[in-house]
């Protein structure tokens, strides 16, 4: 990247826009994965074509492919909206909830712990990081902290905080929060999400969930790059200041 070619203000604006895109992406993903989507959200996504607006489609083949798959599902006239919603809802239930063993158990420890259990070392590590930023799961301590939806929500909050810090010119804070997110990606999300996505792709029955799983994986990879660039920009900015 060539910061020299941009005036300082434009650089900052670009960084802020990138951050806004990240916040939006994480916001959307947490909505999809925290719990079963309600009908009104599904209708909104379909009618307002929100998924199509997911950023970074040009940056990663998986995002492009996944968005196409998911939006095709949303737009398909083959099913009534109720039927289509119902399928997405059931797919979520069987993939992530139960009552049988979830086909894609959405917990980090279910993939990374030695015996693939819930409430393991990964859960504690994630909890420690949440606490540092004064967060805990709403149903703490009954639900495992390292659920996909919770990890997405954590990234959403941190992305939003980092953006606010940058916008306010608090570069030190922005830098610290970006580093935390990079670490969270490296030590947590990027370690287990590919395995989870593999299970979703193997077991999902709807193109919506297959598509969104691809988007999830592609986006995390793009975001890792985005954070690296943002960090560098912020560091440069700090040096310049």
Partner 1 sequence: MSNLIEKALAHRLDRRTFLKWSAAASAGVALTSTGGLKKISAELAPEAASNGAKWVPVTCWHNCGGRCLLVAKVEDGVVTQVKSDDTHPDSPDYPQQRACLRGRSQRMQVFGPDRLKYPMKRKNWEPGTGGKRELRGRDEWVRISWDEALDYIAAEEKRVLDNYGPWSILKLGFGGADHLNQLGGSVQSWGTVSIGAFPVPSNKMKGGMGGVNDRLDARNSKLIVVFGSNPAWSSGGSPSYHYLIAKKAGAKIIFVDPFYNPSAVALADEWVPVRPATDAALLLGIAYYMIENNLQDQDFLDTYTVGFDAEHMPAGADPKDNFRDYVLGTYDGVPKTPEWASKICGTSPRQIRQLAHQMATIKPMWLTSSWAPSRTYLGDQYVQAFLTVGWMTGNVGISGGCVGDAGHIGALNEGAALVRPGYSGQVYIPNPIMGNFMEIFAGFPSKEKSYGPVWDEVWDAVLNGQFMDYQTGGVRDLDIRMISNIGMSACLNQIPNLPKGIQAFRKAEFVAASDYVLDTTAKYADIVLPVITPWEKFGDIQYANREVFFWGSQASEPLYEAKDDLWIEVELGKRFGLDPNSIAILDHKQLMFNAIAGAEAIKDDGSGYEKLVSITADDIAELGVQGAPQQGRIGWKELKEKGMYQVPRSPGDNFGHIAYQAFRKDPVANPVFTSTGKFEIYCPALSDAIEEYGWNTLPPIPKYQPVHEGVEETYADFEKGIKGEYPFQLVTIHYLRRSHATLDNVLWLREAFRQELFMNKNDGEALGLKHGDAVKVSSKHGAVLRNVALSPRVMPGVVLLGEGAWADMDDETGIDKGGATNTLNGNIPTTEGVQGWNTCIVKVEKYDGKLEWDYKWPQRIIFDV
Residues 209-228 close enough to bind partner 1 by CB under 8 A: 221-222, 225-226
Q: Are 130 and 154 in contact (CB under 8 A)?
A: yes
Q: Are 95 and 103 in contact (CB under 8 A)?
A: yes
Footprint of partner 1 on 29-88 (CB under 8 A): 30-31, 34-36, 38, 40-41, 44, 48-50, 52-53, 55-56, 58-60
Q: Which is nearer to partner 1, 210 or 222 (CB)?
A: 222
Q: Are 36 and 97 in contact (CB under 8 A)?
A: yes
Q: Are 16 and 167 in contact (CB under 8 A)?
A: yes
**Shortest reach from residue 136's CB to partner 1, in Å:** 5
Torsion sign, CA atoms 24, 16, 11, 224:
negative
CA distance 21 to 41: 20
Residue 143 lies near partner 1 (rule: CB under 8 A): yes
CA distance 171 to 8: 14
What would you report as the CA-atom Rg of the chain, rounded to the nearest whole angstrom? 18
Q: Are 118 and 109 in contact (CB under 8 A)?
A: yes
Residues touching partner 1, count (CB under 8 A):
85
Footprint of partner 1 on 160-219 (CB under 8 A): none
Footprint of partner 1 on 90-129 (CB under 8 A): 90, 93-94, 97-103, 105, 107, 110, 115-121, 123-124, 127-128
**Shortest reach from residue 160's CB to partner 1, in Å:** 8
Residue count of the chain: 241
**Shortest reach from residue 53's CB to partner 1, in Å:** 3
**Shortest reach from residue 79's CB to partner 1, in Å:** 15
Residue 21 lies near partner 1 (rule: CB under 8 A): yes
Residue found under tokens 């999400």? 193
Q: Are 126 and 108 in contact (CB under 8 A)?
A: yes
Residue 139 lies near partner 1 (rule: CB under 8 A): yes
Q: Which is nearer to partner 1, 73 or 130 (CB)?
A: 130
> Per the structure block, which two tokens stand in for 187?
């030590």
Residue 15 lies near partner 1 (rule: CB under 8 A): yes
Q: Which is nearer to partner 1, 61 or 168 (CB)?
A: 61
Q: Which is nearer to partner 1, 170 or 205 (CB)?
A: 205
For the beta carbon of residue 115, count every other beta carbon within 10 angstroms.
7
Q: Which of 29, 70, 108, 137 is in the footprint of partner 1 by CB under 8 A?
A: 137
CA distance 38 to 31: 10
Q: Which is nearer to partner 1, 170 or 203 (CB)?
A: 203
Q: Which of 153, 180, 207, 237 is in the footprint of partner 1 by CB under 8 A?
A: 153
Residue 142 lies near partner 1 (rule: CB under 8 A): yes
């Amino acid at each position: 990247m060539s910061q020299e070619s941009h005036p300082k203000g434009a650089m900052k604006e670009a960084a802020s826009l990138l951050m806004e895109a990240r916040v939006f992406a994480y916001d959307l993903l947490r909505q999809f994965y925290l719990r079963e989507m309600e009908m009104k959200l599904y209708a909104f996504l379909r009618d307002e074509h929100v998924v199509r607006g997911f950023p970074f489609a040009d940056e990663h083949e998986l995002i492009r492919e996944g968005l196409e798959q998911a939006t095709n599902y949303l737009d398909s006239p083959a099913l009534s909206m109720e039927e289509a919603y119902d399928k997405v809802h059931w797919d979520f239930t069987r993939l992530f909830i139960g009552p049988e063993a979830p086909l894609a158990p959405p917990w980090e420890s279910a993939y990374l712990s030695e015996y693939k259990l819930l409430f393991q070392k990964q859960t504690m590590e994630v909890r420690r990081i949440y606490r540092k930023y004064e967060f805990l799961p709403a149903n703490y301590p009954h639900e495992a902290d390292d659920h996909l939806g919770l990890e997405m929500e954590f990234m959403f909050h941190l992305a939003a905080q980092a953006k606010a810090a940058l916008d306010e010119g608090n570069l030190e804070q922005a830098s610290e929060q970006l580093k935390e997110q990079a670490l969270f990606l490296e030590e947590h999300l990027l370690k287990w999400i590919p395995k989870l996505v593999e299970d979703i792709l193997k077991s999902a029955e709807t193109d919506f969930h297959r598509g969104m799983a691809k988007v999830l994986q592609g986006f995390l990879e793009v975001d890792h790059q985005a954070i690296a660039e943002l960090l560098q920009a912020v560091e440069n900015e700090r040096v310049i200041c």
